[in-house]
Structure 1
Amino acid sequence: MIIYPTMQLQNGRCVTLEKGRLDEPQVWHVDPVETAKGFAAAGAEWMHLTDFNALEGDSSNEELVQQIIRSAGIPVQLGGGMRSREQVEHWIDKGAGRVVIGTLAARDPHLVQELAKHHPDQIVLAVDIWQGQVMTDGWRKSGAFTPEAYLEAFAGAPFAGILITDIDSDVADTEAQMGLISHLASLVKLPVIASGVVRNTDDISRLKYISNIAGAQVGRALFRKTLSVEEALAVARPESEPVAEFQ
């Protein structure tokens, strides 16, 4: 299972959110570029980056995002504000390893399926869930889709993966979160990346044994220092197969 150390940017600073509330971020006084380099130094193979300003149509973080992509030393999976073909292709051209698409997929599914065909292994479908509904527009609007129906609508599209975020995981119990992720992962053939459910190594251990979970994003726990990248990677690593000893 791949661990994606996760960074969220707002106004040039690293932030984390409670229950998806963009208006009440917790600001972390760290250097975003150096933090990204630290993810790579700790052994991560990928990182995830979300630009919250871009969700509002504000490009003020663009130079910083480009700097992170150039400097991190590992591929960057980038989300936030991908509302047009031009924006998606702009970031692919700028070196993003993958681009995460959410709202655009709900508005123009045909276009997004076409983008996935044109950019194999680079388009990730975001499925953000709040109280049983798929949310769009930076988690502010319900798309009136159940996640099951939404995933069915994109069956067969050649996405690099599906990123499932449980927005209200702060108020849901762990059993419910894992049950939701497990259920949705069982409905698709593409690799699933779980987001919003990792607080500690136990959560990673449980995700690791859910069929079709190929990765997990870890963000807030890293900034709160309740979990390190090294610890997360160690738990996510495949178990070594027992080797028979011959006398």
Structure 2
Amino acid sequence: MDFYPAIDIRGGRVVRLEQGDFARERDYGTDPLDVARGFATDGATWIHIVDLDAAKGDGNNRSVVQRIASDLASTVRIQTGGGVRSVEDAQQLADAGVSRVVMGSAAVRDPQLVDVVARVVNVAVGLDHRHGEVAIDGWLRGSALTLSVAVTQYPAASAFVITDISRDGMLAGPDVDGLREICTLTSTPVIASGGVAELGDLRQLREVRGLSGVIVGKAIYEGRFGVRDAVRALQV
């Protein structure tokens, strides 16, 4: 199972949000490239990057993403999301060296767009949900689409990134039972995001059939555990 340490970027700096709320931001004051290099040194083979400025439609950090992808091209694959709304966006990221893009609101609004983008670069569909309803527009609006239906609608997706909004950035533990149920509904690999607080959470997730990876941010930045231990915990 793959471990995805997360880097959220705003204004060229590493930050973390609680439940996606920009008013509840913590600035870690570090260079994203330095953080990514540290993750790679500690054994990460994937890094999950979120461009928060692009997600808000307030500029983007694609030059930063490109620097990371170029610098670590021989050791790490980059999965990135935030503001990927068109084929052009995806093409820019593919040209920057990204291995997989994450599409959220745009994919929910237009599932066929995923089919088109997937011809350019691998696509993970980001399904951020609140009590089983997929949220869009920076988690501000419900979509009336349920998670259980959504995972049946994207045949071209190379993965689903499932984020439990209520747990994101809260260190409250992952929804293991909910993830187990979702994994029974699709043969597409599922990547879990949100809530992981300790290595024991990773060991629980490791046992979920159909789960291919776990994204973790805050627990790393708060020193709950390191990347090296996380990679080891997910090894079967």
One-letter code aligned to 1:114: V
- How many pairs align? 233
One-letter code aligned to 1:108: D
Structure 1 ranges of 4+ moved more than 3 A: 170-175
Residue in 2 aligned with 1:201? 199
Instruction: Map 1:34-73 onto structure 2 (within 5 A).
Output: 34-72=34-72, 73=75
Offset at residue 69 of structure 1 (A) = 1.6
Q: Relative to 1, partners in 2 of residues 1:234 and 1:90: Cα closer, same or farther, differing over 3 Å?
A: same
In terms of fraction of residues, the more strand-rich structure is: 2
SS in 1 for 2:145: coil
SS in 2 for 1:110: helix
One-letter code aligned to 1:104: A
Maintained 8 Å contact 2:17/2:26: yes
Residue in 1 aligned with 2:97? 95
Quick one: percent identity of the two aligned structures?
33
Is 1:16 aligned with 2:16?
yes
Residue in 2 aligned with 1:150? 150
Instruction: Map 1:188-227 onto structure 2 (within 5 A).
Output: 188-227=186-225
Offset at residue 159 of structure 1 (A) = 1.7
SS in 2 for 1:226: coil
Residue in 1 aligned with 2:126? 126
Maintained 8 Å contact 1:103/1:137: yes
Is 1:86 aligned with 2:88?
yes
Runs (5+) with no aligned partner, structure 1: 239-247
Offset at residue 172 of structure 1 (A) = 9.8
Taking the aligned partners of 1:150 and 1:223, their CA distance within structure 2 comes to 31
What are the Cα deviations for residues 154-203 of structure 1, in whole angstroms up to 9, with x where unaligned? 2xx1322111001101679647x111111111111011100003111000
SS in 1 for 2:192: strand
Is 1:26 aligned with 2:30?
no
**C-alpha RMSD of matched pairs (Å):** 1.7
Offset at residue 132 of structure 1 (A) = 2.3
Residue in 2 aligned with 1:245? none
Residue in 2 aligned with 1:241? none
Taking the aligned partners of 1:128 and 1:205, their CA distance within structure 2 comes to 23
SS in 1 for 2:24: coil
Taking the aligned partners of 1:99 and 1:17, their CA distance within structure 2 comes to 20
Taking structure 1 as the reference length, the TM-score comes to 0.89
Maintained 8 Å contact 2:15/2:28: yes
Taking the aligned partners of 1:212 and 1:235, their CA distance within structure 2 comes to 17
Taking the aligned partners of 1:145 and 1:152, their CA distance within structure 2 comes to 11
Aligned partner of 1:182 among 180, 183, 194:
180
Taking the aligned partners of 2:23 and 2:8, their CA distance within structure 1 comes to 14
Question: Which 10-residue stretch deviates more, 143-152 or 66-75?
Answer: 66-75
Aligned partner of 1:163 among 158, 161, 164:
161
Offset at residue 78 of structure 1 (A) = 0.6
Taking the aligned partners of 1:173 and 1:96, their CA distance within structure 2 comes to 30
Taking the aligned partners of 1:187 and 1:211, their CA distance within structure 2 comes to 11
Taking the aligned partners of 2:60 and 2:132, their CA distance within structure 1 comes to 33
Runs (5+) with no aligned partner, structure 2: none
SS in 2 for 1:211: coil
SS in 2 for 1:144: strand
SS in 1 for 2:98: coil
In terms of fraction of residues, the more helix-rich structure is: 1
